[in-house]
Structure 1
Amino acid sequence: MISANAEWGPVRRFFPQAPVAKSPFGEFFSARVGAHAPLFVHGGWGKIDAAASAQYVIDRWAPRLLLNLGTCGGMQGAVERDQIVLAERTVVYDIVELMGDAEEAISDYTTRIDLGWLGSKHPGPVVRSTLVSADRDLAVADIARLRAKYGAVAADWESGAIARVAARNGQKVLILRAVSDLVGSGGGEAYGQPGFFERRSEEIMQGLLRSLPLWLDHCVGRLS
C-alpha cells in the first residue's frame, strides 16, 4: 500500500509497463519484484482513505502481509534524513477531547504492531520506533511533547490508521517509512515548498523500491 499522491507517482514510474486497474481509492497493479509479484495499491492520503483502503485491500485480497511504503517527516535530533523507520507502534495524536481526557482516546487509537514474526535481523538498516500520525503536518511546538510522551522520532498522515485496521483484522502489517524531510526549531525543510517534498518523495520511493526485493525475500521466508 502506498498512500500519498507524491509517493504513488514514483511507484508508477518505476513500473511503467505494468497494466493498471482501478479501485474506489485509486489505481492498483501487480509487478515483478525479484522472485515475487506483489500487488501495489494506491490507498490515498490522510487517515480516512488510509483506513478505508486498508480494509478494502484486506477484504478483497486477504494478503499474507500488508506492507506500507512511504515517507515521513523526521524530528530533528531524533532521526536523520533518508533513514528508514520501521514502525513498532503507531499513535494517532490529533485528538482533541474537551469533555474529558484526550489521552484516553489517544491511548485507544494507539497500536502496538506485532513484529515477532519478522525477527531481529533485517534486510537493511532501519530505526525501529514509534510513528505518530495526524491529519496535519508536524508542528514545531508539538515535537518535544511527542518525543517525551510517546518516544516518537517521525510523523506521517496514514500509519496510525493502517496499523489500527490491520490489528482489528488480525492482519500482519509492516510499515516502512523513510524520512523525506526534517522538522526542528527552525521549522520544516519542506514547509511552503511542495516542490521540495515532491523531489524528496521521488528519491525516497525509488530507494524503497530498490530495496524491496530483499525485504520481500526476508518477509516471505519468515512467513513460510
Structure 2
Amino acid sequence: MALGIICATKTEATPFIEKLVGGTTEHAALIDVHEGEFAGVHVVLACCGVGKTNAAMVSQMLIDRYGVDVLVNSGTAGGMDPSLDLFDIVVGSTFCHHDVDAQMVLVDSYPYYPGGVFDADPALIDAARAASEGFAAPVRFGAMVSGEQFIDDECRGDVIARHDPLAVDMESAAMAQTCFANGVAFVSVRGITDTAEHDGFGNYEINSTKASAIACDFTASLLKALAIRS
C-alpha cells in the first residue's frame, strides 16, 4: 500500500509536517512533497493549494509520480447540516461538485463517468468508523460537496436544496473524481470551521488552525485502524 495525504492549505498541512518522522522533501509542480512516517505508516504528503484544479493536479501527480494507491484528504470544511457544530469531524462517504452540471459534464461527455457522485472507499470508511469510537470530537459520516467558492448564508440554501450535504469544501470532489478514474482508494476527513450559526469567512480564519489539528489527529487514528485491518 502506497499512501498519500493531501491538504489544501499550509494551515491544514502543518500538523502533519510537524509530526512527520524522517524522510525527504522534493519540490515538484510548484509544491513541496514530503515523504516520511506518520502514525507509524510511510506516507507521501502534499499541500496542493485551494481549489479543484490544484486538488486534481496534485492527486494525479501523487498517483503517477509516487505510485499512491490510497489517498486521504485532510483539512477543514464548512458545516451545512444544522446538527453539526464547530470542530466536529466529517468523513465524506460520497462526493460531488455543487458547481458543475454533472449530467452534461460528467455523464454525457467523454470519458462518460457512470454518474456525478463518487463514493469513498469502503475499507477506508470502515477504518474511519473504527477510529471514531472514543475519538475526542464527534465524528459524522455523509455527503460532501465541493465548488470554487466559499459558501456563506448568501448561497447556503441553494447548495442544501440541491445536494443536502453534511459539509462543503473546495477540493474533495475533484480528488474523489481523480481517484475514481485511476482506481485509487479515497476518503476525506474534514474539521468543521463554520456553520449556519457561526457563518462567514471570519469564523473560518479564527477556527481553521484548531479544526486542522483535530482533522490531523483523526487521520492518524484512521491510519492506525487501517493498518490493523491490513
TM-score bucket (shorter structure):
0.7 to 0.9
State the partner residue of 1:153: 166
The reply to whether residue 182 of structure 1 matches residue 187 of structure 2 is no
1:116 Cα deviation from its structure 2 partner: 2.4
The reply to whether residue 129 of structure 1 matches residue 136 of structure 2 is no
Q: Distance in 2 between matches of 1:103 and 1:136?
A: 17
The reply to whether residue 202 of structure 1 matches residue 213 of structure 2 is no
Q: Deviations over 1:52-99 (max 9, x none)?
A: 11111111122231010010011261422111111111121123xxxx
TM-score (norm 2): 0.79
More strand by share: 2
Q: Deviations over 1:104-155 (max 9, x none)?
A: 2377473321432243832015211111111100142432332233221211
- Aligned match of 1:69 in 64, 67, 74? 74
Q: Any gaps of 5 or more consecutive residues in structure 2? A: 1-5, 108-114, 133-137
CA change 1:132–1:150 in 2 (3 A) is: same
State the partner residue of 1:112: 118
State the partner residue of 1:99: none
Letter of the 1:105 partner, please give it: M
CA contact (8 A) 1:5 1:45 kept: no
The reply to whether residue 140 of structure 1 matches residue 147 of structure 2 is no
Number of aligned positions between the proteins: 211
Q: Distance in 1 between matches of 2:50 and 2:23?
A: 22
Q: Any gaps of 5 or more consecutive residues in structure 1? A: 96-101
Give the alignment's Cα RMSD to 1 decimal.
2.6
The range that moved more, 2-11 or 43-52, is 2-11
Structure 1 runs of 4+ aligned residues shifted over 6 Å read none
The range that moved more, 112-121 or 30-39, is 112-121
Q: Distance in 2 between matches of 1:219 and 1:105?
A: 37
TM-score (norm 1): 0.81
1:45 Cα deviation from its structure 2 partner: 1.2
The reply to whether residue 38 of structure 1 matches residue 43 of structure 2 is yes
Identity of matched residues, %? 20
Q: Secondary structure at the match of 2:49?
A: coil
1:198 Cα deviation from its structure 2 partner: 4.0
Q: Secondary structure at the match of 1:32?
A: strand
CA change 1:114–1:132 in 2 (3 A) is: closer
Q: Distance in 2 between matches of 1:173 and 1:13?
A: 23
1:16 Cα deviation from its structure 2 partner: 9.0
Q: Deviations over 1:11-53 (max 9, x none)?
A: 3344497643212141121233332222211122101111111
Q: Distance in 1 between matches of 2:92 and 2:211?
A: 17
